[in-house]
A and B are shown apart, each in its own frame.
Chain A
C-alpha cells in the first residue's frame, strides 16, 4: 500500500503482560500511555496473554471494531509466536504482512529484571521503532509455483538406485541418468560387502533388475546431463543420451554421482602388479587369489590425511579389514599385517569385524605419519610406533588403502546446477548437521559418496533419506514461498553488473534481456530473502520486501529519536 495516505494508517498496539514475565518487570500502564501518543496509533490494549484464545480474539475484535490496518504485538519473541499472530490477523481480514512484532520480553523484561525504569524506557524505544516500521509495511501475497511431478536421479550406483526405486514405489515418475553403460557403480568392482560378506554383484543385480523392470523409472545409461536451467518445481534439463538430446522437465533433482578411488601414482612404488590398491585387491579376490601369496602388507592412509588431501576417507579401514578377512578365507595360512595410523572402525558392526579379524590373526602395526613405511623389493620396512623399533615385513603383495576422491564430473555438475562443492571437491550439503541431504538450493538433494565416502549401509540409508526429502515438493504438487524476497525496486538503476548473481547462494538471480537492456531478474520461488544481493548492489537497485531500505531506515531513525 505505498500509495496509502498518511492519515489513513491506523495502527493497533497490543501489549502483552505474559502473565508476570513482562508485567512483573516493566511499567505496563506507562507503556500503553506512551504507545497511545505515537503517530498513527489509534488503538492500544493490554492483554494478560496475547497468545491465549482470549488474547487472540481481542486482537481480532480490535482489528474489526477499530478498523485497524496495521497490528503490533509487543510481547515474547517472534521465534515462537509470530506465525500465530500473523495468522490471527489474516483471520480478521488483515494481510498478515501488515503485522509487526516487538520483542519486549526476551529482549527487554528478561534482561532488565532489576531495572524497572530503564527497562520500561527501553521497551518504549522498541515500541516506537516497531510503530515506525509498521507505518511503512506493505501487504504481501505468498508466492506459489507448481511442481512438475517428476524426479531426476543423476547416478546409478547403490545410492541412486535406492533413491530412484523408493520414489518410483511411491508412484512418482523417475528418470535415472547413468554415465556408464551399466548401472551398479562402485558395487560392480567390489567382491563382497562388510560386515555380512554379501556378494556385491548379487546385490547390484537385484537392484538393477528392480530398476530396469520398474514401470515408473525411465533409464538412460551411457548418458549425461549437459544443460540445465530452472528452479524448484521447474527444472528444464537436457540429457545427452545415446539416441540424442532429450529435453525433460523435472520438479526435483537428486545427486548420486558417487566418488572415485584415488590412484596412488608415485606412492610406495605403486605398480598395479605387486603393489596395488584395495580396489585392485577386490578384483583379485573376485578372480581367486594365487595360492603362492603368503605374506601381505596393507598400508592405510595412502594419499589421505596429508597436506594435499587432509580429510579421512572414512571407509578405507573397514575395506582393509574386510579384505584381510576375505584373503584369510582363501589362503588361511596367509600372514597379513595392516599398517595404520588410527583404525577407524567406528560403530557396532565395524568394531566387531575389527575384533574378529584380530582373532583370525591379522596383525595391526601402528605407524606415525612423520615416519611412514617404506616398500622395498620383497618387503616393507616400518617403524613400529608402539614397539619402538623398526620391523621388516616380508611382502608378496602390498595393498595400498587409498581414499575415495570427489568424482571428476562433480565440478561440471555443480556449475550446471549452480550447487556448491566443498574444499575437497565433494558436494556441499545445505547444513552440516540439520540438512545433510539437501543443498542450499531448494529442490536438489544429495546422497551417497557424492556427499562424502559412505559404506553400503550409509549409502542405502542416504538414498532413502534423499528420496524422502525430494518427495515433499512432489507430494505437495506446489511450493509456497514466504514473500520476503529480493525485488528489483529500481529497474533503471540496475546496470546488469552481475555481482548479485555471483553472490546469490541459492541461484535465485539471473540476467535477462528486457526492453531497457540487460537487467537482473529475481526467480522469486528460489529466493530465500537473505539480502546478500541487496546489500552488495552498488546501484541500490535491489531491495528485500518487508525489510526495504526505507523501512529499516525508519526504524533506525525512530531508535535514535528521544522518547517523549
Chain B
C-alpha cells in the first residue's frame, strides 16, 4: 500500500467509483465519481486527532462490526491514503445536529462539511479489474446457526480476534463471554447512576435512604412524587447490585477459547450456494489454527473438511506440521449441524466418514470457512465495462488467456476472476499489467507504422 501511495506514476483515487466507460482499447474515456469525504485530501495529515475527539461511535466495519470506530475515521490504522473520512450516515453535524468538534480539533484546517462528490474524466489505454470478492454470508445456511449461536464466527471475524489490533487485542475471548463483559460494563454504569440518584435524595432530604425507606413503607411520608421515586430507586438498587455480582462471579470462570472447530466448504462445494471450490479456505483454517495454538499452546483444533486442499508451494508440509506440532486434527466429513450446548458451547454434529459414525462434539468456538463469493458490485461494473461474467459471476476468462476479459483492453486479476490465494493474486496482478502494457505498446507501434 505504501509503495502504491508513494509511487510517482500512480494516481490514487481512493473512495471513488467508476460510473461510465466509453471508447475502446487504447482509448477509453472513464467517468469516475470521487465521493465526498468532507475532509480536504491535500490538507489532512492523517494524524487522527479528529477521530479521537469525535463523540459518535459507529460499528467498525474493518473489525467486522466487532468493535467501534468514530464517525470520522480512517478505515484501518495503516490505511493508505491516511486521509480521514466523515461517515455521513452517522456524523452529527451532517445530520443537522450541533457538533463540529472535529472541525475545531483539526489543526490542519482540513474539515470541510460543504464538500460534494466530484465527477472526473480519465483518458486511459487499458483497464484492469481487481475488484476482489465478498465473504459468503453463512446465515443463509440455517443448520449452522451463525448469528444465533454467538460462539459461531466466520474465518474473517476470527482473523480479527487473533489480531493484536483487533477487538480483543489478540486474545481468544469468546463472543458470548465478551457479551457478558459488555453487560457488566452496562450494569456498572447503572449501579453508579442509581447510587448517585440515592445520594442526591439523601442530600436533599438530609436523611439516609435506609431510614427513609423504612418510614416510607410504614406510611410515615405523604404521597409525594419525589418520595415515590426515591423509594422505587432504593427498592430496585439491590437487584442490580446482585445481578452485577453474579455476572462478575461468572466472569471469573471464563477462559480463552481452547477447543476450536474449523468447518470447511461453508457455502462452497454446496449446490445450494456455490458449487465451486474456493481454493484458499483450507489453508486459512490451518493458518488460523496454528496461530491460535501459538497464542495459547493448550489450544486443540479440529478441521472438518471433505478434502484438505493444501495445494500450494509448501502447503502440504505446513498442513502436516500443523497436525504434528500445533494440535490440529483433521476430520474427514461434512458437518451436518451446529447446536448450542451448555455454557454457550457450540456442539458440532458430523459424520466421521472413516469410522462411518455420526458423532457430536462440543467446542468453545466454531469457525466457518466461508466461500469466496463474487463481489456484489461486479454486476454493475461488468455492465459499465461491457465485459461478460461466467456462470458463477466471476469475470470470464479462458485458460489460455487467463487475464483477458471478453473485451479487448480490459483485463482482470485476483479473485474478481476466480478464487485464489495471495501468491497467485500477486502473480496475476503482474500478468494483467503485462497484458495492458503489451496491448498499449503494440497499438502505438502500429500507429507509428501507419504514419510512416
Contact = CB atoms under 8 A, between A and B. Distances in A.
A310 B441 contact: no
Interface residues on A, range: 35 or more
A333 to B, nearest CB: 28
Contact of B399 (A452, A456, A467): A456
A471 B108 contact: no
A452 B354 CA distance: 31
A221 B120 CA distance: 52
A26 interface: no
Contacts of B353: 366, 385-386
B399 A347 contact: no
A169 B441 contact: yes
A311 B429 CA distance: 26
Contacts, number: 173
Interface stretch (A45-53, A62-70, A224-232): A45-53
A112 interface: no
Interface stretch (B58-66, B92-100, B312-320): B312-320
Given A346-B311, A460-B402, A352 B426 contact: no
Given A347-B279, A351-B277, A464 B309 contact: no
A443 to B, nearest CB: 16
B356 interface: yes
A18 interface: yes
Contacts of A18: 45, 47
A198 B398 CA distance: 11
B401 A467 contact: no
Contacts of B354: 368, 385-386
Interface stretch (A127-135, A433-441, A516-524, A549-557): A433-441
Interface residues on B, range: 35 or more
B275 A469 contact: no
A461 B47 contact: no
Interface string B295-327: 000000000000111111111110010000000
Given A310-B320, A311-B314, A433-B422, A348 B392 contact: yes
Interface stretch (A252-260, A337-345, A477-485, A490-498): A337-345
Contact of B276 (A351, A387, A464): A351
A458 B418 CA distance: 12
B210 interface: no
A203 B313 CA distance: 27
B304 to A, nearest CB: 14
A427 to B, nearest CB: 10
A83 B106 CA distance: 25
A452 B313 CA distance: 6
B43 to A, nearest CB: 8
A437 B437 contact: no
A contact face: mostly helix, strand, loop, or mixed? loop
A456 B398 CA distance: 10
Interface in B418-452: 418-420, 422-424, 426-431, 433-435, 437-438, 441-442, 445
Contact of A468 (B45, B107, B423, B431): B431
A436 B394 contact: no
Nearest to B428: A461
Given A342-B308, A467-B434, A457 B392 contact: no
Contacts of A466: 430
Q: By CB atoms of chain B within 10 A, which of A170, A196, A437 has the most?
A: A170
B220 interface: no
B284 interface: no
Interface string A340-371: 00111111111110010000000000101000
Contact of A462 (B269, B311, B431): B431
A478 B400 CA distance: 33
Contact of A352 (B106, B276, B313, B402): B276
Given A19-B47, A21-B48, A347 B418 contact: yes
A422 B401 CA distance: 29
Q: By CB atoms of chain A within 10 A, which of B2, B353, B399, B423 has the most?
A: B399
A352 B356 CA distance: 27
Contacts of B49: 19-21
B431 A346 contact: no
A564 interface: no
A49 B108 contact: yes
A195 interface: yes
A266 interface: no
Interface in A169-218: 169-171, 193, 195-196, 198, 203
Contacts of A4: none
A388 interface: yes
Contact of A349 (B2, B399, B430): B399
Nearest to A426: B313
Given A19-B107, A346-B279, A460-B402, A49 B423 contact: no
B399 A460 contact: yes
Contacts of A471: 434, 437
B356 A386 contact: yes
Nearest to B417: A348
A469 B442 CA distance: 18
A287 interface: no
A308 B59 CA distance: 51
A377 interface: no
Contacts of A436: 423-424, 426-427
Contacts of A169: 438, 441-442
A432 interface: yes
B151 to A, nearest CB: 29
B104 interface: no
Given A170-B437, A170-B438, A465 B431 contact: yes
A79 interface: yes
A312 B427 contact: no
A460 B427 CA distance: 11
Contacts of A455: 399
Contacts of A355: 275
A20 B312 CA distance: 47
A346 B400 contact: no
Contacts of A528: none
B244 interface: no
B309 A346 contact: yes
B331 interface: no
A451 interface: yes
Contact of A348 (B316, B419, B423): B419
A80 interface: yes
A27 B332 CA distance: 61
Contact of A312 (B276, B310, B332, B403): B310
Interface in A385-423: 385-388, 422
Contact of A460 (B6, B400, B418): B400
B399 A195 contact: yes
A457 B404 CA distance: 12
Contacts of A464: 402-403, 430-431, 434-435
A388 B402 contact: no
A387 B353 CA distance: 8
B424 A458 contact: yes
Contacts of B403: 461, 464
A351 B269 contact: yes
B84 to A, nearest CB: 12
A486 interface: no
Nearest to A347: B279
Q: By CB atoms of chain A within 10 A, which of B6, B279, B402 has the most?
A: B402
Contact of A19 (B45, B422, B441, B442): B45
Given A19-B48, A170-B437, 8 more contacts: A344-B309, A346-B277, A347-B418, A349-B399, A351-B269, A351-B275, A460-B402, A468-B434
Which A-B residue pairs are the 5 nearest by beta carbons? A465-B430, A468-B434, A464-B431, A342-B307, A19-B47
10 contacts: A19-B49, A51-B45, A52-B43, A52-B45, A166-B438, A422-B314, A436-B427, A458-B424, A461-B431, A465-B434
Interface of A: 18-21, 48-49, 51-52, 79-80, 83, 166, 169-171, 193, 195-196, 198, 203, 305, 310-312, 314, 342-352, 355, 366, 368, 385-388, 422, 426, 432-437, 451-452, 455-458, 460-462, 464-469, 471
